[in-house]
Each structure stands twice: as C-alpha cells, then as structure tokens.
Amino acid sequence: MNRPQDEFVASRRPAWDELDALLAKKSLLHRLPPASISRAASLYRDICSDLMRARAAGYSVEVIDLLDSLAARACAAMYSAPPYRLAGLRSLVASGFPCSVRRHARFMALATALFLLPGILGFVGALRSRGFAVQVMSESMVEQMEKSYSDLGRGRDEGTDSMMAAFYVYNNVGIAFRCFATGILFGLGSAFFLVYNGLLIGAVAGTVTAAGHGRNLFTFIAGHGAFELTAIVISGAAGLVMGYALVDTGRRSRWASLRAKAGDLFRLIMGAALMLLLAAGIEGYWSPSPIVAPVKWGVAGLLYALVFAYLLLAGRRGKPEGES
C-alpha cells in the first residue's frame, strides 16, 4: 500500500520548498556557493525519485504537476548552456566562420553562380536595351539610376554618411537574413533571392553604365563590394546548405539532418552579418568620400585580397570548430 498522498506531501514538502528557493535565486546556479550547488544537485535527485514515486502511486495531478515543473526547472539549471563569452566571438571570427565557409565550398560556388550569372545577364541586358532595365526595375527607378552617380565623389556631410551607414545596416543585413531564412523551403527561397539580387544589381550597373556614369558607380561599389557582395553570397549559400540538409538527410530524420548543420549555419550567417556591418561602415563613410579614384581602386583591390585570403586561409591550423 502506498503512502497516502497528504502524508507524502507533508514529509517531502520542506525539500521541495528548499529547492524552489534555490532555483528562485536571482543569480545563476553556477554562481552560488559550492555548498548550495551540491545541495541543489542532491535535492534535484531526490525530487526526481519523488516524481517517480508520485506517478507510480497515482497521486493527484497537482502533486505530479508541481514535481514536474520543479524537476524541469532544476534540470534546466543543472544542464544549462555554456554562458556567452567574448571568446566565442573571437573564435567565430578567427576560425569558426572561415572554416565553415570552406567546409561548404560547393555551396559557395553554387551560390556565386546563382548570383553572378544573373548579374552578368542583368548588366549586359540593361546596357543594351533600356526596355530590359525597365522590365527588371521600374520606369522611375531606371530614371533615378540614370541621374544618380553623375556627380559622385564630392563627399557628403557626416550626418548623411551616418544615416546612409545605418540604412545599409538595416537594408543589407535584412536582405542577407531573408536570403538565408527562406532557404528552409528546400533552398528555393535562397536561390530566388540570389538570382533576384544578382539580376537587380547587374541591371542597375548596366543602366548606370549606359547613362555614362559607369566609372563612378564601380569606383563607388569597389570598396565595400568586397565585403557586401561576398556576404550576400555566403548568406545565400547558408540557405542552400539548410535546404539541402532537408533533402539529403544521410540516414537521419529530415529535421535531425538539419539540426546537425545548425552550428555551421549559425557560424555562416553570423559571419556574413559581421561582414555586412563592416561593409555598411565602408559604404557609408569611405565609398562616398572625395578621395581620388585610383586610391579607391587600390584600396578595393587590397580589401578583396584580404577577404579572400581570410576566407581561404584563416583558422587552417588547429582543430576546426564543429567538424561533423
């Protein structure tokens, strides 16, 4: 015969309240004094066995619910995720991100093709026919593009620079995140955004070049393009990786296959976002500055070399993070 519920509750209640109080403390469990931590651990084990006993004895729903929620909270506190440290960011930049990029080199190549080929198509098309540009963009946007970039390189006031930098953060990081996230539709969303953005950027470049301001435009985008275009391609590639994980599951369940890639996906998209923040800074302050074109070209070349060297070489020594 089982112990009556009320007697069980009355005898065990102090232990439950003690654990409840330990868990309710503001500071996290691992910051408590050692005695409290080991006390919490032993109380947790006791409560787990209380829960089993209560369930076996068929005690009322309230008791089991109470023990369930207490055990759940204690378990969450015991097995909590590692706290976030700045070292995590450093290792992401130093090795995690470039290693993940290299691990998915094929998807990088595919994403580059999905972005670059429509880009070339858009450029050539818009260069040759204004009607093509109007199809891709809109009449008003084509007109605006033809006018802009005619007087670039005179510099702006600081306020406008900051505003534009903020706009690039809002716009470009948003585009990258959307390009990544829609990859969960078996990669189709990412592929669409890569092709669409490639076509659009190509068509803009073609239109501006046709209007005779091509040199201005390319001087403008050369610097930040190293980071911006690369990051957009990487975020699209991350979306493709995500979509493909749902297709080729490698003897895992569909979602387990995706979760196995979660670490890589996180590193890729965070790396891309950091690159875009850098790009926004360059695009806001450096690209529109009145510095002469040859210097800008030189710096742009340097930045491209830097980005590719970083992605190809960084973190090659040592154990790659999250190898699967």
Partner 1 sequence: MQLDNTVEVETPEHVRFRFHVAGPTRRAWAYLIDCLVRIGVLIVIEVVMVLATGHQVRWGHAMVSGGTLLSLFLMEWGYFVLFEAGWNGTTPGKRALKLRVVKAGGYPLSFADAVLRNLLRTADFLPVGYLLGLLVMSWDGRFARLGDRAAGTMVVIEDPVRVAPAITLDPPPTAAELEALPVRLSLSSSEREAIELLLRRRDLSPGRRIELAETVVPGLVQGATSRPGDPVRDPIRDPVRFLALVHFAATGGRAQGASGRGGART
Instruction: State the residues that interact with partner 1 by CB under 8 A.
Output: 1, 3-7, 9-10, 16, 20, 45, 48, 51-52, 58, 60-63, 65-73, 75-76, 79-82, 84, 88, 157, 159-160, 162-167, 169-170, 173-174, 177-178, 180-182, 184-185, 189, 242, 255, 258-259, 262-263, 265-266, 269-270
User: Shortest approach of partner 1 to residue 20 CB, angstroms?
Assistant: 6
User: Shortest approach of partner 1 to residue 107 CB, angstroms?
Assistant: 17
Q: Of the two residues 15 and 113, which places its CB atom closer to partner 1 in the complex?
A: 15
Q: Of the two residues 6 and 323, which places its CB atom closer to partner 1 in the complex?
A: 6
Place of tokens 């076996």: 56
Distance CA 26, CA 61 (A): 29
Q: Of the two residues 154 and 317, which places its CB atom closer to partner 1 in the complex?
A: 154
Q: Of the two residues 256 and 306, which places its CB atom closer to partner 1 in the complex?
A: 256
User: Shortest approach of partner 1 to residue 191 CB, angstroms?
Assistant: 14
Q: Of the two residues 121 and 237, which places its CB atom closer to partner 1 in the complex?
A: 237
User: Shortest approach of partner 1 to residue 268 CB, angstroms?
Assistant: 11
Helices (H), 129-187: 130-136, 139-147, 158-168, 174-181
Q: Are 50 and 12 in contact (CB under 8 A)?
A: yes
Distance CA 145, CA 178 (A): 25
User: Shortest approach of partner 1 to residue 324 CB, angstroms?
Assistant: 14
Burial class (CB in 10 A: 0-12, 13-18, 19+), 196: middle
Q: How far apart are the first and last CA of the chain?
A: 52
User: Shortest approach of partner 1 to residue 130 CB, angstroms?
Assistant: 32
Q: Of the two residues 111 and 303, which places its CB atom closer to partner 1 in the complex?
A: 111
DSSP 195-257: HHHHHHHHHHHHHHHHTT-HHHHHHHHHHHHHHHHHHHHHHHHHHHHHHHHHH--TTS-HHHH
Residue among 112, 142, 115, 140 nearest 203 (CA): 142
Q: Tally Cβ neighbours within 10 Å of residue 22.
A: 18
